[in-house]
Amino acid sequence: MTAIKLGLATAIFSTITATVLAADGEGARIAAAADKAIRPVMREHQVPGVAVAVTVDGRHYFMNYGVASKETNAPVTENTLFELGSISKTFAATLASYAQALGKLSFEDHPGKYMPALSGSAIDNASLLHLATYTAGGLPLQFPGAVKNDADMVSYFSTWKPDAKPGKKRRYSNPSIGLFGHTAALAMGGSFGDALETELFPKLGLKHSYVTVPKDAMSSYAWGYGKADRPIRVNPGVFDAEAYGVKSSAADMIRFVEANIDPGPFDGTVRRAIEGTHIGYFDSGKMVQGLGWEQYSYPVSLERLLDGNSRTMALDAHSVKALDPPRLADGATLYNKTGSTNGFGGYVAFVPEKKVGIVLLANRNFPIPERIKAAYAILETLAASAQ
C-alpha cells in the first residue's frame, strides 16, 4: 500500500496544491477531478471541510479541503475525525460477520436467543439476517421518542407489531440493524463499543476509529455544522453506536475500503468476516442488499446509484426478492454506503474487481445526491486510471 498526500487546502475554496506528486500523472488527474467535483459543492452548500481519500490498485491519495472547525480554523487532514453516521452500519455488519466466523452466532438465529425478554414476541419471528437487511417486517427508520434507554428498547421490541412477514419487504431502519449489532456484541460477551474498539478495529488495522473518542484524540475530532450553522456533534441514543455512532478519519476509512477490496492478507477469521459482508441477500430491483453494504452491478450509471440511494429508499417500504441461495455478486460490483448525522455527511464506495475505492467525509450534512455525484465523478477518473 502506498499512501500519497496530494495537498492541503487551508481555505475552504482554495485550490489543491500537489505538494508531493507534482510530476505524477495519475495523482494530478485524481487531484484535478476531486477539485472539480468538491469545490462547487462546498461553495453551494457552505460545507466547512471535506476529506477525500481514494485508492487505485493499492495506491492511496488524500485530498483535504477547508476546516475542521470554523471557530479555530483548524485545517482538515486525512487524520481528522468525522462522524460516519450510517456508514457505521458497515462496521456492525462486519462485527456480526466476524462473530459468525468465530462460531459465536448464526445469522439464522433469532434475537430471543441472546435477549430472552424478546422470546415469543413478534420480533423474535425475524432472524438476525432479517434485522441486518431491514427485512424484519417494517421496523421504522428511528425509535419513537419515548425510547430513551435499554429498558425502553426491550419494551418497544416486545410489543412491536409487524406490517409484513419477515423477508418480504425492506424498510431501512436504525432499530433493525441496531438490534442486529447489539445481539452480535452480546454473543461476543461484551458491549458493542468495546467489541469494535478492542477487537475488530485493531484486527483491521484501524488505529484512529472510535465509538467514544478518547481525550487524547479530541483535538482531531471535527465539529459538525447544521442548519443553525453552530458547531454540533452527535447526541447519544439507544443503539447509536451500532447504527450511526462511529467516528473515523479518511486515512482509516480508506484502509477499511482497501480491506474490503482485498481481504486476502488478513487472517482467516477476519477475511471470512469481510467476505461475508459482500454476500447479497435481497434484491430490491434498485440494488441488492448485503450486510451493511448495498450492491450494484458495475459499471453502473449515475442515475441508478442516485435511485438506489434516494430518499424513498430510506423512508419507504419496498418489496424485495430473496436471493436463493444468498450469494456473492457475479461479476464486477460496486458496493456503497451513505451516512449522515445532523452535522456530518459521508459516502463510501468501492469496486473490488477494479481495485478502486473512494471515501468522502464532510462536516456538514449536505444532500446525499450531491455527495454521490461528486464521488461518482472522481470514481470515473479512478476507473480510467485502473484500466
Residue 86 is a catalytic residue: yes
Compute the half-sphere exposure of residue 299: CA atoms within 13 Å on the CB side of its CA: 9
Which residue of the set 172, 210, 296, 376 is catalytic? 172
Backbone angles phi, psi at 60, to 5 degrees: -105, 135
Q: Is 122 strand, coil or helix?
A: helix
Residue 221 is a catalytic residue: no
Report DSSP letters for 269-291, one per residue: HHHHHHHHTTEEEEE-SS-EE-S
Which residue of the set 61, 65, 69, 86 is catalytic? 86
Buried b (16+ CB within 10 A) or exposed e, 272-296: bbbbbbbbbbbebebbbbbbbbbbb
Helix (H) or strand (E) holding 129, with range, is: helix 128-132
| Cα–Cα distance measured from residue 129 to residue 240, given in angstroms and rounded to the nearest whole number | 20
- The interaxial angle of helices 25-45 and 368-386, nearest 10 deg, is 170
Largest CA distance in the chain: 65
Residues designated as active site: 86, 172
